[in-house]
Every structure is written in C-alpha cells, then in structure tokens.
Amino acid sequence: MTKKMNKPISPQLSDNLNVYSDGESDEIDLIELFHAIWSQKLKVIFITVIFAVCSVLYALSKPDLYKSEALLAPAESSSNGGGGASLAGQFGGLASIAGVDLGAGSSGKTEEAIAILKSREFITQFVRDNDLLIPLFALRPVRFSKEVLLDPEIYNEEKNEWVREEKPPYTKEPTDWEIYKKFSGILSVERDKVTGMLTISVEWYIPEQTQNWVTLLVEKINHHLKMRDVDEAKKSIQFIRQKIQEVSLVDMQAIFYGLIEAHGKTIMLAEVRDEYAFRTIDPAVIPLEKSEPKRALICIVGTLLGGMLGVLWVLVSCFFAKRRAENNAQR
C-alpha cells in the first residue's frame, strides 16, 4: 500500500489565506454599526438635544441687525461726455499737462469712488463730522432682547465724557484706527461689473440709523468728489491763464481757451447738480425686517452637528470596545 502524503501548503498560499482571513475580519458590517448606534440611541439623542439647546440659546443671544442700502448710477460729466470728449482727441496731451482728465470714463470714476469710500481718511472724517462715535462704540445690544442701550462703562452720558478703560496705545476716546476698523465692519461697497451700478449698504442694530448713515454716505461721496473736481478745475484754470500769457501763437491760445472752457463746464456742473458724481436710483429706506442673524439656520445646523457628533462618538466608543475585547480574547 502506498501512503497518501499530504502536500504542505506553500508559504505564498499561506500568506494569501492569512490576508484573506484578516480582510474578512476587518470588513465593516453595516448591520453591526446600525445595531451599535441603535443600542446607544439614548446617548445620541442626549448629545443632539444638548447641541440643539445650545444652538437655540446662541441664536437668541445674537442681536438683530438691520441692513439698509442705496443703489447709485454714475452721473455723466460734461467734462467727460460733452465738449471735453471732443477736445480729448485734439489735444489730450496738453490737457493732461494742464490737469484735465478728458479721457476718464464713468467706470474709472466709480472705481475711484469705491476706493475713497473704503479709505481710512474718508471713513474717520465721515464718522467724526457726523458725530457717530457714541453710537458706534458706546451702544450695546441687550442679550435676549431687542433693546440697544448706552453702555455706562464706556461713555458717561451725564458728564458727556468717555470713561472706558485706557489701554495704551488706545485712549479713552476711540482712535482713528478703531474708527476705521469698526465702521469698515458694517459698511459694504460693491460695484456691478455688468451695469456699473454702485451699491452702498450699512448693517447696524438700529434701523433708523442704518438708513440715515447710508444717506449721509451718498451725500458725502458726492460732495467730496465735487469739491475735489472744483478745486482742481480752479487751479487748472489759473495755471492755463498763466500759460496763455507766455504763448504768442494764436492756435495755442485757442487750445488753452478750449481747456478753460472744459474746466468752466466742470465748475458750472458742480454748482447746479447736487448729485454730482452719482445719481440715486434706489434710495436707502428704513429696514423693517432684520438681515441677521438667521436663527432658524443656526438651530438647524447646531442640531445636525450634535447628531453627527453623537453618532461619531458612539461609533468610536464601539470601535475601541471591540478592540479591547479582541485583545483580551487573544490573551
């Protein structure tokens, strides 16, 4: 009789079996995960409820913010679209020497206005000129309420003085740097690239103040650009008149007189037009509905986050519990 000899398992086949075996043991069983979550459902519910309650309290503690905005369109300037435009092709070089920007369009004016509105000098001057320091820095919303009160620890209304704690380099009265940061945070200036329209908006606690501040901003930027252009036009006219006395050629004198006429139109336009640089298409109004916070969204996101963290906590706990059981069994 011949004995049947069992062939030994090759090392390669043995490794494959071990890998297959380990792969099977490491597979994720969805049913097992569901049972693990279901067995710990009270913990998941508890964590979800905790997050839901916290999100509700957080949403209720946030003060209401109201947003007012104005839609503006660049006003056509006679110095850009009328006689100045026809002169630009003839003697644009001389115009630039004399200080006349005959080729500037409304797009350039709008971009310049945006830069001015966002500038530190314009914002600090605007806040100080309109006495906005007290409402900006001393008003505080009352938590879980729609009231906004003056904080006595920052400003003493009876003595009419700032009493906040002085922390160098900051003083009791708000500095220009603080003014710029505070007002920049509530101001938004956007330009529509398609239509060229400019939108100025302010978001604040008190609806009446938001509407008033946007209106003042529109008036301020128009006045600022008007005074700057008038001042430049007057200086340019004075400069050109001096040049006329130095030039004997009749043709050159005619060109200079044309430049004076263009500047004269700028001054005349500034005197007769209140909305010099921008026309108000849609003025700012007192908002009747809050823009922030979105309390329903905060509560929903907080509840979902709590549910996900609760499930994750249960899965991680089950994973480590299973690992500990396996290690104990191997011992």
Per-residue pLDDT at 82 = 40
User: 252: helix, coil or strand?
Assistant: helix
Per-residue pLDDT of the chain (331 residues; tens, 9 = 90+): 444 444 444 444 344 434 334 444 445 577 877 887 888 888 889 999 999 999 999 998 899 999 999 999 988 643 444 444 444 444 555 555 544 455 445 567 788 889 999 999 999 999 999 999 999 999 998 887 788 899 999 999 888 999 998 888 888 999 999 999 999 999 999 998 888 899 999 999 999 999 999 999 999 999 998 888 888 888 888 888 887 777 766 666 677 777 887 878 878 877 878 888 899 999 999 999 999 989 999 999 999 999 999 889 888 888 887 787 777 777 6
Per-residue pLDDT at 221 = 93
Q: Is 299 exposed, middle or buried (0-12, 13-18, 19+ CB in 10 A)?
A: buried
d(CA 240, CA 248): 14
Per-residue pLDDT at 76 = 65
Per-residue pLDDT at 219 = 94
Q: What is the DSSP string of 290-310?
A: --B--HHHHHHHHHHHHHHHH
Per-residue pLDDT at 17 = 38
Q: What is the DSSP string of 95-141?
A: HHHHT--TT--HHHHHHHHHHHHTSHHHHHHHHHHTT-HHHHHTEEE
> Which residue is associated with the tokens 């708000």?
174
Strands (E), 37-97: 66-74
d(CA 122, CA 203): 18
Per-residue pLDDT at 201 = 96
Q: Is 232 exposed, middle or buried (0-12, 13-18, 19+ CB in 10 A)?
A: middle
The amino acid that residue 180 corresponds to is Y
Q: What is the largest CA-CA distance in the chain?
A: 137
Strands (E), the chain: 66-74, 139-141, 148-150, 155-156, 161-162, 187-191, 198-204, 278-282
